[in-house]
Copies of this chain bind each other. A is one copy, B any other.
Amino acid sequence: MSKESLTTIELEMAVLVRRITSIASNRKDDSLVRSAYLLLHQISVEEAAGVKTLSNELQLDISTVSRQAASLEQKGYVERVPSPHDKRAYFYRITEIGLKELTQYKKLRLDKISKLLHDWEEDEQQNFGQLLKKFNYAIKDLSS
């Protein structure tokens, strides 16, 4: 196994995070609270999940998700539906306007990435996407 490639990955991974953080901090297009993007995405995908489930999936503390969700609800992007059989529990559902916002925000990001990678070969893009996905899968349970 070549140390070379791994060393590259190790460093470039750090750089990547730095770059992205840097861009994130410079956000004006902050229509959707950035940090809640994945949460909203997850809610849109999930059928019926409460903060517990969501926080597991996102590997965030439950309190963080609780707050993010509250903020999304406050903006009208999600609704909180009480669970029929458990009076403690809720589940979230994305609203019309939430879906619209999500779509728009996704598009914004997509545009940025399209521009960024406009001169990449098709198969480089494809490859990169797949490898990222694979990497994320691998890294998924590293915290435990």
Residues in B neighbouring A139, C-beta threshold 8 A = 16, 19-20, 23, 116
Complex CA distance for A56 and B130, rounded to whole angstroms:
32
Tally of this chain's copies: 2
One of A3-11, A73-81, A92-100 contacting the partner: A3-11
Secondary structure dominating the interface of A: helix
* Residue in B4, B15, B113, B133 whose CB lies within 8 Å of A6: B113
Query: What distance in Å separates the Cβ of A18 from its nearest Cβ neighbour in chain B?
Result: 6
Complex CA distance for A140 and B116, rounded to whole angstroms:
10
Interface size of A by Cβ–Cβ distance < 8 Å? 59
Complex CA distance for A130 and B2, rounded to whole angstroms:
14
Complex CA distance for A5 and B6, rounded to whole angstroms:
24
Query: What distance in Å separates the Cβ of A11 from its nearest Cβ neighbour in chain B?
Result: 8
* Residue in B106, B118, B129 whose CB lies within 8 Å of A9: B129
Known: A12-B133, A136-B12. A18 touches B38 (CB 8 A): yes
One of A46-54, A83-91, A119-127 contacting the partner: A119-127
Interface residue? A33 (CB, 8 A): no
* Residue in B1, B17, B110, B138 whose CB lies within 8 Å of A10: B110
Do the beta carbons of A59 and B132 come within 8 Å of each other? no
